[in-house]
Amino acid sequence: MTQPTAGTFDPHDRALFTDRYELAMLQGYYESGHTPTATFSLYFRDLPAERGYAIAAGLEQVIDYVETLAFDDRALDYLAEEGFDAEFLSYLDAFEFTGEIRALPEGTLVFPNEPLLEVTAPIHEAQLFETFVLNQVGFQTLVATKGARMADVVRRHGDGQDLVDFGSRRAHGTDAGLTAARAAYIGGFDGTSNMLAGERYGIPTYGTMAHSWVQSFESERASFAAFADVYGDDAIYLVDTYDTITGAGRAVTVAADRDVDLGGVRLDSGDLTALSKQVREIVDDASIVVSSGVDEFFLREFFDDDGVASAFGPGTALTTSADAPNSGVVYKLTAVERDGTLAPSMKLSPGKVTYPGQKALHRVERDGQYQYDVLARRDEALEAGAPQLEPIFEDGSLVYTPPELATIRQRASRELEALPERCRHVSEPDPYEVRISDRLKAVTQQTEGEIRDREL
Amino acid sequence: MTQPTAGTFDPHDRALFTDRYELAMLQGYYESGHTPTATFSLYFRDLPAERGYAIAAGLEQVIDYVETLAFDDRALDYLAEEGFDAEFLSYLDAFEFTGEIRALPEGTLVFPNEPLLEVTAPIHEAQLFETFVLNQVGFQTLVATKGARMADVVRRHGDGQDLVDFGSRRAHGTDAGLTAARAAYIGGFDGTSNMLAGERYGIPTYGTMAHSWVQSFESERASFAAFADVYGDDAIYLVDTYDTITGAGRAVTVAADRDVDLGGVRLDSGDLTALSKQVREIVDDASIVVSSGVDEFFLREFFDDDGVASAFGPGTALTTSADAPNSGVVYKLTAVERDGTLAPSMKLSPGKVTYPGQKALHRVERDGQYQYDVLARRDEALEAGAPQLEPIFEDGSLVYTPPELATIRQRASRELEALPERCRHVSEPDPYEVRISDRLKAVTQQTEGEIRDREL
């Protein structure tokens, strides 16, 4: 048996959670004595399908990673076995980040080509972060966005329904289950079924009843009665184990027999919209929780068809971002020190522009609505709009106080409300305008020209 | 700042990595004094789209979970704050698994309705495992299957090319990155870029060169030269930063200048099939690594169109199982103790049959090819085929020695070779036949009839 390590991650593990080529690069830089300062940018080339925006998330995990990253003896021994050189390993042994990181705060809207994160440091330091940063920010941003899309449908078409993450069982592993709960909460969810996310992040936890509970008793009625005895007024009965309408009627009867309020019922199969309306007639004003196959497309139809619910429990679609399971964020070198200054840099893959150099990003608002963004060079004096990138690390030190999760969530909510509705449609949204400053365009063109002259 | 916990999982975390409703059920069972023995089965209702088979994976993580699961004081304090009762918490404090688990060994083919895992225990014990087991076995089985599909295309149409997991950066979190490397290796991959997977599981690690390496030098040529100086004959040059054909030519020149062998080149963008053929003319017999957008559909076309490669580096498609990011496995109560015996149980959701009761699963082989499976009741005497489910825990004790990862990988390979080719097509495979024994059919019908009589 190899070491079974589902989610067993400590700083040791995080140091080795990297692609071999990152360490191969590092050893190469070290042995060549080639360690220029460089800037890497983490950004979307395009948003995933059907997305008019993304919501930044995962910065807090990156901060923790940068602050704790360390190669212990066990890691160094393994790397030695794998053929890395002793001198290089003694460098890793003493690894410390000395650079600068700027970032979009979590909960902020982000559009194509806009830096989620900009790392400027000796190239080997910035390079080392690539695998982890893509892994964490990519996934959390994906789920925060998926969650925000659902929350936004409820906000615009619903009636204040709660959204609760039921997706831990469907998440790709334990880390994903936990951070998906966090990201969905940032995106506007109200709670999670995951107790660990409750403990770690202070997210409210919710849970109802399982089919197995119902099946385990001699009858559905007996199972409801036993549940009422334990949970009283708070009981929410899962009513579709045998027949939803019959089950809803039984929940009413049992609550009356036990002289408790009917907390609510949960619907988990069948035509949920039609059933919700029939069940509303039966259960009066008790809660109705709808929990199977819920995503933003379902929600839009549910409200269009006058479905009735108090809460929704999205699972698979949320935690796997099922219709777009990959964020596509990239971490690219955009500038590198030459002759003492940071020179813009880019690669020339067909159809993939990278805007070179360190960036400024301004968001222009009028009457509470975002009009457009301006992506520019950092050294430009922009007049319009508010700057979006904040300093996180300077000279290797953390200079940022991560906000409370509730604050991040409020930010995401305000951001979405300021985004024009045409950019928030769940299908075929209008793209939000990201203007590229004239100077950035000129530098891009010039850099590309220089590379073509030099390389081709 | 809340506690940033990307992948920070210890036994404490695993205990709380559960849905609130699991603990609500447990408290209910405990307080009702209703703790019958029950059997839960983990299985696919249907295979994900285009899959003719799945490869079981994740059992080792489940074993470790069952063996280490414990609620520490911090977990119990949190649950007390969340309103769970002191008496119930003292039960959790002393939690120990006392039951039985049978399972398909990792690396075994699995088809719809066949138990990946069958847990028989006092109902609250078996219930508690649900969230974690679905999370781990669901995801790993998904990736083992995706990996096996790629490995099988290489086996049938390729020329012994290596398959290396390059997907850690695209995985949904750190746990997923790590277990995806493991699952892909089970499915037939030859290595991973993930150093932690290398350390933990002994999987060979691979890495080449990044675009940032090339960009960071004053020219592509200088970047190749520096790499050659560090890595000599082993250097694999990423040649598409500016222009693939030009880059390949430069790699040849630099290796010759440095008087080292050209280890190989990596192609990461453009029309990879066409480029691979052009590049083969330039690099002679050096390795060609192809690494962008690789999945089983790409591989089939690549071979059909006579593409040339020595190795492939699938990323996103592999670790997110991009075309089917959810396995759909379920964990259902199939039997529960009534009057001292285990009675078959099922729910009646439309279109979703659960075969009730404890199962036997036999696989029938002729001349090295699997003919069909038989799913039956455990107490049936089946003559045909070899039994597939193995005892893992008995009376709460581990009675199974998990095989080495290499052994699991060999099993998967043998299994695939025994599966008729028509069931292995990457698009529209023929379904493999799973026969339901007459007795199991009869019990299913009878159980459903009894439930209808009782409940409807």
pLDDT of A4 reads 46
Taking only Cα atoms into account, the Rg of chain A, rounded to an integer number of angstroms, comes to: 26
Burial of A386 (0-12, 13-18, 19+ CB in 10 A): exposed
- Cα-Cα-Cα-Cα dihedral sign, residues B217, A356, B194, B325: negative
| Calpha distance A178→B419 (Å, rounded) | 37
Cβ pair A166, A268 in contact under 8 A: no
Convert the pLDDT of each residue in A274-309 to its tens digit: 999 999 999 999 999 999 999 999 999 999 999 999
| Calpha distance B424→B437 (Å, rounded) | 25
Taking only Cα atoms into account, the Rg of chain B, rounded to an integer number of angstroms, comes to: 26
Beta strands in A295-358 (DSSP E): 311-312, 329-338, 341-344
| Calpha distance A449→A455 (Å, rounded) | 10
Convert the pLDDT of each residue in A55-76 to its tens digit: 999 999 999 999 999 999 999 9
Please report, in angstroms and rounded to a whole number, the separation of the first and last CA atoms in chain B.
52
Cα separations in angstroms, B281 against A419, B10, B248, B304: 53, 52, 10, 19
| Calpha distance B273→B417 (Å, rounded) | 27
Higher pLDDT, A10 or B88: B88
Residues of A in contact with B45 (CB under 8 A): none
Q: Does A38 touch chain B (CB under 8 A)?
A: yes
pLDDT of A138 reads 97
The closest CB to that of B216, out of A36, A209, A220, belongs to: A36
pLDDT of A7 reads 52
Per the listing, tokens 């350390």 go with B199
pLDDT of B7 reads 52
Helices (H), A217-307: 220-231, 244-258, 272-283, 296-304
The closest CB to that of B230, out of A31, A63, A240, belongs to: A31
Residues of A in contact with B14 (CB under 8 A): 6-7, 174
Domain covering B31-63+99-141+332-455 assigned CATH 3.20.140.10 in the classification: yes
Residues of A in contact with B195 (CB under 8 A): 16-20, 23, 78-79, 82
Partner A, chain B 141-180, Cβ-Cβ below 8 Å: 166, 168-180
3-class DSSP state of A85? coil
Partner A, chain B 279-298, Cβ-Cβ below 8 Å: none
> What's the gap between Cα B433 and its chain centre?
22
Q: Do A209 and B21 touch (CB under 8 A)?
A: yes
DSSP secondary structure letter of residue A381:
-
Burial of A94 (0-12, 13-18, 19+ CB in 10 A): exposed
Cβ pair A283, A253 in contact under 8 A: no
Residues of B in contact with A324 (CB under 8 A): none
In chain B, which residues fall in CATH 3.20.20.70?
A: 143-319
Cβ pair B254, B226 in contact under 8 A: no
Is residue A38 within a helix (H) or strand (E), and if so which, with residue range? strand A37-44
The closest CB to that of A349, out of B178, B269, B456, belongs to: B269
Partner B, chain A 301-320, Cβ-Cβ below 8 Å: 316, 320
Distance from CA of A12 to the nearest CA of B (A): 9
Q: Do A243 and B455 touch (CB under 8 A)?
A: yes
- CATH superfamily, region A30-68+97-129+332-455: nicotinate phosphoribosyltransferase (3.20.140.10)
Q: Do A169 and B138 touch (CB under 8 A)?
A: yes
Sequence-distant (6+) residues with CB within 8 A of B127 are A210, A212, B22, B25, B26, B29, B38, B40
For chains A and B, count residue pairs whose Cβ atoms are closer than 8 Å. Answer: 411
Cβ pair A305, A276 in contact under 8 A: no
Of A376, A383, A357, A392, nearest to A437 (Cα)?
Answer: A376
Q: Does B134 touch chain A (CB under 8 A)?
A: yes
Cβ pair B373, B364 in contact under 8 A: yes
pLDDT along chain B (456 residues), means of 10: 54 92 97 97 96 97 93 97 97 97 98 98 97 97 98 97 98 95 98 96 96 96 97 96 97 97 96 98 97 97 98 98 95 96 88 89 97 97 92 98 97 98 97 97 96 93
> What's the gap between Cα A383 and its chain centre?
31
3-class DSSP state of A27? helix
Residues of A in contact with B82 (CB under 8 A): 195, 198, 205
Best residue in A29, A214, A215 to probe B by mutation, most B CBs within 10 Å? Answer: A215
Backbone angles phi, psi at B349, to 5 degrees: -65, 140
Q: Do A212 and B135 touch (CB under 8 A)?
A: no
A46's tokens: 């395009």
pLDDT of B1 reads 44
A210's tokens: 């399982």
B131's tokens: 């969230």
Convert the pLDDT of each residue in A326-361 to its tens digit: 999 999 999 999 999 999 999 987 767 789 999 999
The closest CB to that of A78, out of B16, B199, B219, belongs to: B199
- Cα-Cα-Cα-Cα dihedral sign, residues B254, B260, B261, B264: negative
Per the listing, tokens 């020329």 go with B159
pLDDT of A10 reads 78
Average pLDDT over residues A78-96: 97
Is residue A434 within a helix (H) or strand (E), and if so which, with residue range? strand A434-436
In chain B, which residues fall in CATH 3.20.140.10?
A: 31-63+99-141+332-455
The closest CB to that of B196, out of A17, A325, A404, belongs to: A17
B61's tokens: 């993580």
3-class DSSP state of A341? strand
Cβ pair A125, A101 in contact under 8 A: no
- 3-state DSSP of chain B: CCCCCCCECCHHHHHHCCEHHHHHHHHHHHHHCCCCEEEEEEEECCCCCCCCCEECCCHHHHHHHHHHCCCCHHHHHHHHHCCCCHHHHHHHHCCCCCCEEEECCCCCEECCCCCCEEEEEEHHHHHHCHHHHHHHHHHHHHHHHHHHHHHHHHHHHCCCCEEEECCHHHCCCHHHHHHHHHHHHHHCCCEECEHHHHHHHCCCECCCCCHHHHHHCCCHHHHHHHHHHHHHHHCEEECCCCCHHHHHHHHHHHHHHHCCCCCEEEECCCCHHHHHHHHHHHHCCCEEEECCCCCHHHHHHHHHCCCCCCEECCCHHHHCCCCCCCCCEEEEEEEEEECCEEEECCCCCCCCCCCCCCEEEEEEEECCEEEEEEEEECCCCCCCCEECCEEEEECCEECCCCCCHHHHHHHHHHHHHHCCHHHCCCCCCCCCCEEECHHHHHHHHHHHHHHHHHHC
Average pLDDT over residues A85-110: 97
Beta bridge partners of A85: none
Of A4, A43, A312, nearest to A164 (Cα)?
Answer: A312
Half-sphere exposure of B267 (CA within 13 A, CB side): 29
| Calpha distance A72→A32 (Å, rounded) | 24
CATH class of segment(s) B143-319: alpha beta
Partner B, chain A 379-418, Cβ-Cβ below 8 Å: 401-402, 404-405
Distance from CA of B384 to the nearest CA of A (A): 31
Backbone angles phi, psi at B20, to 5 degrees: -55, -35
